[in-house]
Amino acid sequence: MTILAVVLLVGCFSLSALSTAAVRKFAIRTGFVSHPVDDRHNRSIVPLGGGIAIFFTIAIVLAAAIAAVKLLAVPGYLDWLGESATIHTPGFMSKVNELIVMLLCMSALFALGLWDDKKHLGPFFKLIVQFAAAIVAAYFANVRVEFFIESKILTSLLSAFWIVLIINAFNFLDNMDGLSAGIAVIATAVLFTAAALSGQVFVGGLAIVFIGTMLGFLVFNFPPAKIFMGDAGSLVVGFVVAMLTLRITYYHEALSGRWYPVLMPAIVMAVPLYDFISVTLLRISQGKSPFVGDTQHFSHRMKRHGLTDTQTVLTLYLATLCTGLGATFLYQVDLAGAILIFVQTIMVLSIIAIFETTVKNDKVDT
């Protein structure tokens, strides 16, 4: 299985990188670009359409996975893969319909994002479509956390709210070169660890596909960006990350027997959620709509202290890695350890808050 995982990772990386390069040339030729405006950080014309490459890569691989599952139904057809792969055939077969629903929901969000990239849609229409896709995924693809609640409708609604929250968190986070994509890779790598501990091959495979896809895109999106993902990408990225957080099993009686590992997604997503909440509150306090873009994200506020784009992005990568690594230990610790991990997360966010809100002093002491 390790060899198959490496092949899948490298294959998705290569397909994503090649697709991004092709889309970039097409965007330049057709004028599908982002122009410098006051509410955006870019100061030069940058091609859009990176989301097309991201969606194309994930969709192609998922479609191939569905086809492969169908072939697995034919006795002996894929025995050459070995017992380590074919032993999971029954599990794969049971996930086909859910995978199709997830792919359809992801396609709807991609179409919405691409339409918004071209026509700049209103925020309420986008929220309606996001909630519709989230509810369908939660209810029909079983992408939800039960929270020890038996009602499927209630857990679906709660899960749909979480999905939309994560979608918009990554949409907000797409405000600087390489930021949203890089943090998505780090967060997903942590979630992959949780999936591996749970023995969830299906979810782990999806995480590998996503990581490879985002790394291929980052080749062109890391500062200075040669292409932007746009809403067509950020909505898909947020949706996939949300799917992973909800499909992974966090409660393991054999490992800890305690409930607090279910808080792992919130800790892993601490940095994206901090940006979403802080910029939303800031805009509301200024009498502005929280859905109108500006340059008040924490990355922009940090950059105004003299950091370059690369330094800012790497700092936030490190912050995400710190909170994510702490989250991986929730399976092994007792209540005191869980509290320490939570406190560590708050401290990391506090360091960001102190740095970004402190007024830069350009005077030199004499």
pLDDT in tens, 281-293: 988 888 888 877 7
3-state SS record for 107-118: HHHHHHHHHHHH
Q: Which two tokens stand for residue 94?
A: 């049971």
> 2-30 and 50-72 are packed helices; what angle lies between their axes, rounded to 10 degrees?
140
pLDDT exceeds 50 at position 366: no
In a domain, 300, yes or no: no
In a domain, 307, yes or no: no
Containing structural domain, residue 107: 2-257
Mean pLDDT over each residue of the chain, to the nearest integer: 86
In a domain, 235, yes or no: yes
Residue by residue, DSSP assigns 112-177 as HHHHHHHH---HHHHHHHHHHHHHHHHHHS-----TT---HHHHHHHHHHHHHHHHHHHHHHTTST
DSSP conformation class of 263: G
> 309-327 and 179-198 are packed helices; what angle lies between their axes, rounded to 10 degrees?
20
pLDDT exceeds 60 at position 262: yes
Token pair 């790394």: residue: 215
Decide: residue 243, CB within 10 A, 0-12 exposed, 13-18 middle, 19+ buried: buried
Residue 181 and residue 229: Cα distance in Å, rounded? 9
pLDDT digits (tens, 9 = 90+) for 206-249: 999 999 999 999 999 999 999 999 999 999 999 999 999 998 87
pLDDT digits (tens, 9 = 90+) for 3-59: 888 999 999 999 999 999 999 999 999 999 988 766 566 568 899 999 999 999 999
Percentage above 90 pLDDT, the chain: 55
Lowest mean pLDDT among 47-61, 92-106, 308-322: 92-106
What's the pLDDT score for residue 26? 96
In a domain, 143, yes or no: yes
> 50-72 and 201-221 are packed helices; what angle lies between their axes, rounded to 10 degrees?
150
SS3 of residue 351 by DSSP: helix
Write the CB contacts of 116 (distance below 8 Å, at least 6 apart in sequence): 126, 231, 232
- The size of the chain, in residues, is 366
Q: Which two tokens stand for residue 66?
A: 């569905």
In a domain, 362, yes or no: no
Token pair 């350890």: residue: 337
Confidence of residue 365 (pLDDT cuts 50, 70, 90): very low
Query: 318 vs 366, which has greater pLDDT?
Result: 318
In a domain, 54, yes or no: yes
In a domain, 270, yes or no: no
pLDDT exceeds 50 at position 362: no
Confidence of residue 61 (pLDDT cuts 50, 70, 90): very high
Token pair 């849609």: residue: 121
What Å distances lie between residue 267 and 54, 190, 343, 351, CA to CA?
A: 25, 11, 11, 16
In a domain, 263, yes or no: no
Query: 113 vs 326, which has greater pLDDT?
Result: 113
* Count of structural domains within the chain: 1
pLDDT exceeds 80 at position 74: no
Write the CB contacts of 206 (distance below 8 Å, at least 6 apart in sequence): 240, 243, 244, 247
What's the pLDDT score for residue 306? 80
What's the pLDDT score for residue 39? 56
Residue by residue, DSSP assigns 44-85 as S-EE--HHHHHHHHHHHHHHHHHHHHHHHTSTTTTGGG-HHH
pLDDT digits (tens, 9 = 90+) for 124-161: 999 999 999 999 999 998 887 766 677 889 999 999 99
pLDDT exceeds 60 at position 360: no
Q: Which of 325, 314, 322 shows the shortest CA–CA distance to 350?
A: 322
